[in-house]
Amino acid sequence: MSTATQIAFVDYLVLDDGDPHLVASECTICGARYFDRRNACAACSGADFRTVRTATDGVVRSFTIVAFAAPGVEVPFVAAIVDCDGTSVRGNVVNCPPDPSHVTLGMPVRLTTVSMGVDHGGVEAVNYAFEPR
């Protein structure tokens, strides 16, 4: 039995096909999208969902520069809400200095992956983030 060398940090990050992307649960009635499990849509109360791929390019709609975090979390970093072709995605902005002269509202970004660490068995946990385009 072989062991995976990478695992996704969150269930909605797809790494398997060599083209990392996020998938959302989309309400079949109103089209609202969610990244967590839902029994019903918060927008229309519908209970039927389909899995859809989200765009990997987006624009920063809101951000904050985090200066204080839990022990072991390197600060400062940029936490943002990114509009990916109509789907709001929360994620960090990486590969960019964490200051307002480098991160701006409307800034174009693209999905990227970041290593969260490797365990003793050599399995790497991989998360998503966004970087400037």
Structural Rg of the chain based on CA atoms: 16
Q: What is the pLDDT of residue 16?
A: 82
Domain count, the chain: 1
Q: What is the pLDDT of residue 131?
A: 98
The answer to whether 51 touches 28, Cβ cutoff 8 Å, is no
Please report whether residue 17 resides in a domain.
Answer: yes
Please report whether residue 1 resides in a domain.
Answer: no
Please report whether residue 105 resides in a domain.
Answer: yes
Please report whether residue 115 resides in a domain.
Answer: yes
User: What are the residues whose beta carbons fall under 8 Å from the beta carbon of 67, sequence distance 6 or more?
Assistant: 75, 76
CA 117/CA 126 separation, integer angstroms:
8
Please report whether residue 24 resides in a domain.
Answer: yes
Residues paired with 79 in a beta bridge: 64, 92
Q: Compute mean pLDDT per 10 residues along the chain, 133 residues long, and list them.
A: 77 91 98 94 97 98 97 95 97 96 97 95 96 97
CA angle 119, 95, 131 (to 5 degrees): 100
Q: What is the pLDDT of residue 37?
A: 87
Domain encompassing residue 62: 6-132
